[in-house]
Chain A
Amino acid sequence: DADVTQTPRNRITKTGKRIMLECSQTKGHDRMYWYRQDPGLGLRLIYYSFDVKDINKGEISDGYSVSRQAQAKFSLSLESAIPNQTALYFCATADRGNQPQHFGDGTRLSIL
């Protein structure tokens, strides 16, 4: 959805670098999520947030951190990137519980 914007779309970086992936939305949704997609493993939840003051770990949060700067913005950081964090990262939003999630176009991250 154009309503969920991820930047950058592609990033190549080196091991040990700090990286920030950004997500912004104009849908007015409270709930925001960061997922990682690897071939054959589906989408795995890294972190999620229900509002600006609420941050929760997902199933694979180690090595990642997030910041919810505003209702519309949710950033994912890799403090010291490692090659096995090479993946496709998606941000998603949802209006409330049990509602469909709306995904951004993704960030393809390669760590050399």
Chain B
Amino acid sequence: GQQVMQIPQYQHVQEGEDFTTYCNSSTTLSNIQWYKQRPGGHPVFLIQLVKSGEVKKQKRLTFQFGEAKKNSSLHITATQTTDVGTYFCAGPTGTASKLTFGTGTRLQVTL
């Protein structure tokens, strides 16, 4: 079945450093979604990318969808302690209404 892997599994940065998580799918995706889960919280939708090569920005966060639509990345510029959490990518499986979530990247930011 479809697999969605993320690397790294965990990253610890100093506040102000940049951070990137990478998402790779075993199959071509029609779109990819990104979610953030704060410690003790639930996943919250961040963004959806649909087009090959698409780049979207949300303040300090930059999301990219690969040309082959099999990979994606999330880059955070100048991390802040509010960025702490686990970031998941997710892509549709089979029917469009079912998602396969990546394994997640847990980000820790210290002062």
Contact = CB atoms under 8 A, between A and B. Distances in A.
Interface size class on chain A is 20 to 34
Nearest to A4: B42
Contacts of B1: 59
A97 B95 contact: yes
Interface stretch (B11-19, B63-71, B101-109): B101-109
Contacts of A33: 98
Interface of A: 31, 33, 35, 40-45, 48, 50, 56, 58-59, 90, 92, 94, 96-98, 100-106
Interface of B: 1, 6, 9, 30-31, 33, 41-45, 48, 88, 90, 92, 95-104
Given A97-B96, A98-B30, 11 more contacts: A31-B97, A40-B103, A43-B101, A45-B99, A50-B97, A90-B42, A94-B97, A97-B95, A101-B33, A102-B45, A103-B43
21 contacts: A31-B97, A40-B9, A42-B88, A42-B104, A43-B101, A45-B100, A48-B97, A48-B98, A59-B1, A90-B43, A96-B97, A97-B95, A97-B96, A97-B97, A98-B31, A98-B96, A98-B97, A100-B48, A102-B45, A103-B43, A103-B44
